[in-house]
Amino acid sequence: MIHLTKAQLASSQLVNTIHSLQHFSIFIINSRERKQFTKTTTTMVEEVTKSEDQKPIDVNKLRNIRSDEEDDEQPEEGEIISGDGDTLSSSSSSRPGTAIVKHPLEQTWSFWFDNPNSRPKLAPWGSFLRPIHSFSTIEEFWSLYNNIHRPSKLANGADLYCFKNNIEPKWEDPVCANGGKWTMNFNRLKSDTCWLYTLLALIGEQFDHGDDICGVVVNVRSRQEKICLWTKNAANESAQMSIGKQWKELLDHNDPIGFIFHEDAKAFDKSAKNKYTL
């Protein structure tokens, strides 16, 4: 199983993993993102190869990936851009003779979506929540991520979730029932990068109390976007504070964030108060 920890980033064994991720750039449709992705992973390979004392790679260099910029090169509908600039059909398979080595994650995750366009105004919350697909490898994650709209492209009222497999993103789910959520607020169209970094932190097992995390959701509203990290044991203050602190550090987020118990959210709706703040 792959844990994207600093210790592994320091290991030369990661070179093979990085090369495989470069291979997977054939699935990155946006050519600007593909070029930056390849450039970043190439830099990582060079640093690991040249390092004589195996110093850890500065993970902050991954923040050079910018997903919020426009790209002049736009593929035709149904096209996928390959890693060397070739255009492939969306139905194309891997090149003959090329074996794609899959890298399993610690656990399986699932994307869910609540579509506001198919939801009647008076429908109960969650009644139109649907699973999209599950993934359990790095390659499957990128394949899904690059074919799902970023938060900035979602319709007003949409909710996009990524939760551990077999956990439904609902208060009623037994795993979530006694939990709560940390919330970060963003101006409209400003959450794309933080959404990606949060996903990578979750599937890469970057949290000390990762077992207490259920998943994450981005809520798209008319004036703002919210990213909420759901946990399963709200009463465990030390675990919640640890998760919140690590989340802010991973995203370099300086604004205050608050934690609300699901029980309070159900009882008081929008007037529910934060139990913990950072």
- State the average pLDDT over residues 64-77: 38
By residue range, what is the domain housing residue 228? Answer: 104-277
Looking at the structure of the chain, the number of domains it has is 2
One domain, residues 78 and 193: no
Residue 40 has pLDDT above 90, yes or no: no
DSSP 271: G
> Which of 173, 153, 17 minimizes the C-alpha distance to 110?
173
Q: In a 3-state reduction of DSSP, which class is residue 161?
A: strand
Token representation of residue 139: 């390659």
One domain, residues 50 and 139: no
Q: Let me know how long the chain is.
A: 278
Q: Is 277 or 61 the better-scoring residue by pLDDT?
A: 277
One domain, residues 137 and 217: yes
- 97 found inside a domain: no
- 96 found inside a domain: no
- 235 found inside a domain: yes
Stretch among 64-68, 218-222, 268-272 having the lowest mean pLDDT: 64-68
- 140 found inside a domain: yes
pLDDT tens digits, 123-181: 666 667 899 999 999 999 999 999 999 999 999 999 999 999 999 999 999 999 999 99
One domain, residues 77 and 123: no
pLDDT tens digits, 88-97: 333 344 566 6
Strand pairing of 159-164 and 224-231?
unpaired
One domain, residues 173 and 231: yes
- 99 found inside a domain: no
One domain, residues 227 and 181: yes
One domain, residues 124 and 247: yes
Radius of gyration in angstroms for the set of CA atoms belonging to the chain, rounded to a whole number: 19
- 134 found inside a domain: yes
Q: Name the domain boundary from 89, 114, 147.
A: 89
One domain, residues 82 and 118: no
pLDDT-based confidence at residue 233 (cuts at 50, 70, 90): very high
Residue 185's DSSP bridge partners are: 226
- 94 found inside a domain: no
Per-residue confidence (pLDDT) for residue 91, from 0 to 100? 37
- Name residue, tokens 């699973």: 131
One domain, residues 133 and 200: yes
One domain, residues 109 and 85: no
Q: What's the rounded Cα separation, in Å, for the pair 187 and 56? A: 34
Residue 89's DSSP bridge partners are: 79
- State the average pLDDT over residues 250-263: 95
Q: Name the domain boundary from 32, 61, 89.
A: 89
One domain, residues 219 and 257: yes
Q: What is the mean pLDDT of the chain?
A: 75
- State the average pLDDT over residues 257-271: 91
Distances (CA, A) of 68 to 6, 157, 166, 257: 26, 21, 32, 23
pLDDT-based confidence at residue 269 (cuts at 50, 70, 90): confident
Q: Name the domain boundary from 39, 64, 89.
A: 89
The CATH number of the domain holding residue 135 is: 3.30.760.10
One domain, residues 77 and 114: no
- 62 found inside a domain: yes
pLDDT tens digits, 81-118: 334 444 333 334 456 666 778 899 999 999 999 987 76
pLDDT-based confidence at residue 32 (cuts at 50, 70, 90): low
Helices H / strands E in the chain, number of each: 7, 10
Q: In a 3-state reduction of DSSP, which class is residue 135?
A: strand
DSSP 60-125: GGGGG---SS--S--PPTTEEE-TTS-EEETT--PPTT------EEEEEEEEEEE-GGGS-TTPPT
Q: What's the rounded Cα separation, in Å, for the pair 30 and 145? A: 12
Q: What's the rounded Cα separation, in Å, for the pair 150 and 33? A: 13
Q: Which of 120-124, 149-153, 211-215, 266-270 reaches the highest mean pLDDT?
A: 211-215
